Amino acid sequence: MHIQKSERFKYNKKITKNSVKRMDITGYKIRPSKHFILTWMRKWDYNIDSLKSALENAYTVDKVGKVKYEAYTRSKGKSRKLIFLKYEEYHEIFIITGAEGK
């Protein structure tokens, strides 16, 4: 059974820092949710510019839904996960929530 080349990587939705696939967020407006602003942005001392740089420098971005992504980044010796929605038609990234690791 021979698998065609176009079908072989059908479910490869990981975007890593060294990957050929790169997430381009230039021209996108970043809009955090109220929950994210009051909890994670306050705790991490982030602003919109630092969120944009965190998304650009993420070492892994996983596509987990139709428009939902999870970005993993490292800052101050800790791993941080940003869960966001990327709307192509509005050129907007809506950050839902975050998480922190060791």
pLDDT digits (tens, 9 = 90+) for 60-101: 898 898 999 999 999 888 999 999 999 999 999 999 999 998
Write down the domain spans for the chain.
Answer: 28-100
Which class would CATH give 28-100? Answer: alpha beta
Return the pLDDT at 96: 97
Residues paired with residue 81 on neighbouring β-strands, in sequence order: 72, 99
Distance separating alpha carbons of residues 27 and 17, to the nearest angstrom: 20
pLDDT digits (tens, 9 = 90+) for 47-63: 999 999 999 989 889 88
Nearest Cα to Cα of residue 52 among 101, 6, 99, 93: 93
Nearest Cα to Cα of residue 32 among 84, 77, 88, 102: 84
Distance separating alpha carbons of residues 83 and 7, to the nearest angstrom: 28
pLDDT band per the 50, 70, 90 thresholds, residue 34:
very high
Alpha helices in 1-102 (DSSP H): 5-8, 34-36, 42-44, 48-56
**How many residues comprise the chain?**
102
